[in-house]
Amino acid sequence: MTAQFRPRRSALYMPGSNARALEKARTLDVDCLLLDLEDAVAPDAKDLARTQVVDAVTAGGYGSREVVIRINGLDTPWGETDLEAAVKANPDAILVPKVNTPADLQRIAHKLSVHGASSGLKLWAMMETPEAMLNAGAIGACGRDPEVRLSCFVMGTNDLAKETRARLTPGRAAMMPWLMTCVAAARAGGIDILDGVYNAFQDEDGFAAECAQGVDMGMDGKTLIHPKQIVPCHAAFSPSEEEIAWARRINEIFAEPENAGKGAIQVDGKMVERLHADMGKRVIAIADAIAARS
Ligand code: COA
Ligand code: MG
């Protein structure tokens, strides 16, 4: 885990039709870039967006940022062309919109091999339809099948609200069962999961509250729509100094010879088990990966 750990605290969407944003992305301190060909691009701008995104990814200059291209669905006039173009551009991953079933991902994975995709190219799945919520476990299980290359879920809360008619209210009460189901499905499949976007990008308090909620839910990070959301997002999704210190301390305590045979010990009036030490190791790995990035 330590060697492969890649921070995915923040993933900034940008319309592929926006050349200025594609350029600016090379300078933003963000973990992942979601270069969009789908919903953020108007039908008339689809071809321009595809060309600009392919040129930008091919030109490179994105450093340690993880570069992901969101294609249009295969049931649209642009999907097949997007897929072929994205494979040629060879980003870190292709984000598949509106996944309903494992077969949707398997079909795309098959096309990746047909187009000769590099073995490192991964698939990410938008979880944003009612069908996907009902099939979350089966879709997440694709994470265990190397042929499907699935490595991350992205919650599409705006589409989910549209399709279900549930409302996106502060606290997201109506969304919580689906969000947590997808967290469980992601963990069962051994993949990461990123929370949905916060539309009111001028509302700093509302955004901070929703980031904190995502952290509590176990999300690995959050999708963003505006550069000003990056700093508060990283503040929420990076382990705090206290968490890191606690993680180091309980691992040191378990490493002491007198605790070698113990499964549970007391530290500062709290029960600490070996599973907490394991969780601490993960916190340390995340902190190290973040430090190595910057
Ligand atoms: N990615 C990269 N740069 C972005 C950006 C983004 N998502 N959103 C804004 N910027 C840049 C602008 O280009 C501008 O740069 P500049 O001043 O150096 O020229 C700067 O940040 C300030 O932008 P601002 O004027 O505050 O926003 P805007 O009115 O231009 O754009 C949105 C607002 C919402 C239209 C825009 O942020 C956006 O397109 N977001 C992403 C939408 C998307 O991809 N949605 C799909 C998934 S939900
Ligand atoms: Mg969507």
Average pLDDT rounded to a whole number, residues 226-246: 97
- H helix count then E strand count, the chain: 12, 10
Q: Which residue do the tokens 């938008």 mark?
A: 126
- What is the percent of the chain where pLDDT is above 90? 97
Q: Which residue do the tokens 């189901």 mark?
A: 181
Q: DSSP letter string over 26-82? A: GGS--SEEEEESSTTS-GGGHHHHHHHHHHHHHH---TTSEEEEEPPPTTSSSHHHH
The string of pLDDT tens digits covering residues 170-215 is: 999 999 999 999 999 999 999 999 999 999 999 999 999 999 999 9
- Provide the token pair at 294: 């910057």
Ligand 1 atom 14: the closest Cα is on which residue? 21
Query: Where does residue 280 fall: left (phi above 0), alpha (psi -120 to 50 degrees), or beta otherwise?
Result: alpha
Is residue 34 within 8 A of residue 95, CB to CB? The reply is yes
**Cα–Cα dist 220/218, whole Å:** 6
- CB-defined site of ligand 1, < 6 Å: 12-15, 20-21, 24-25, 36, 39-40, 197, 225-227
Task: Please tell me whether residue 100 adopts helix, strand or coil conformation.
Answer: coil
Ligand 1 atom 11: the closest Cα is on which residue? 21
Q: pLDDT confidence of 4, banded at 50, 70, 90?
A: low
Quote the radius of gyration of the chain (alpha carbons, Å): 20
- Which atom of ligand 1 sits closest to the CA of residue 22? 2
Distance from Cα 39 to the centre of ligand 2, integer Å: 6
Is residue 277 within 8 A of residue 251, CB to CB? The reply is yes
- Which of 65, 162, 197, 225 best tests ligand 1's pocket when mutated (most atoms within 8 Å of CB)? 225
pLDDT recorded at residue 47: 98
Average pLDDT rounded to a whole number, residues 5-31: 97
Ligand 1 atom 45: the closest Cα is on which residue? 40
**Residue length, the chain?**
294
| Bridge partners for 98 per DSSP | none
The string of pLDDT tens digits covering residues 128-157 is: 999 999 999 999 999 999 999 999 999 999
Report how far apart, in Å, the C-alpha atoms of 78 and of each of 38, 50, 70, 81 are. 9, 9, 12, 6
Distance from Cα 25 to the centre of ligand 1, integer Å: 10
Q: Which residue do the tokens 């705090």 mark?
A: 240
Average pLDDT rounded to a whole number, residues 263-275: 95
pLDDT recorded at residue 157: 98
Average pLDDT rounded to a whole number, residues 61-86: 97
- What is the percent of the chain where pLDDT is above 70? 99
Ligand 1 atom 40: the closest Cα is on which residue? 225
Contacts of 185 (CB under 8 A, 6+ apart): 136, 137, 139, 140, 141, 153
Q: Which residue do the tokens 């926006």 mark?
A: 18
Contacts of 269 (CB under 8 A, 6+ apart): none
Distance from Cα 130 to the centre of ligand 2, integer Å: 12
The domains located in the chain, with CATH, are 10-237 (3.20.20.60), 241-293 (no CATH)
Average pLDDT rounded to a whole number, residues 7-34: 98
Distance from Cα 37 to the centre of ligand 2, integer Å: 11
Is residue 128 within 8 A of residue 157, CB to CB? The reply is yes
Distance from Cα 226 to the centre of ligand 1, integer Å: 5
Distance from Cα 267 to the centre of ligand 2, integer Å: 46
Average pLDDT rounded to a whole number, residues 212-238: 98
pLDDT recorded at residue 2: 40
**Cα–Cα dist 149/207, whole Å:** 32
Average pLDDT rounded to a whole number, residues 90-104: 98
- Which atom of ligand 1 sits closest to the CA of residue 36? 44
pLDDT recorded at residue 1: 39
- Nearest ligand, measured from the Cα of 161: 2
Distance from Cα 18 to the centre of ligand 2, integer Å: 18
Average pLDDT, rounded, for the chain = 96
| Bridge partners for 123 per DSSP | 94, 150
Which helix or strand (DSSP H or E) is residue 13 part of?
strand 10-15
Ligand 1 atom 19: the closest Cα is on which residue? 20
Query: Does the reported pTM lie above 0.85?
Result: yes
pLDDT recorded at residue 3: 47
Which helix or strand (DSSP H or E) is residue 154 part of?
strand 150-155
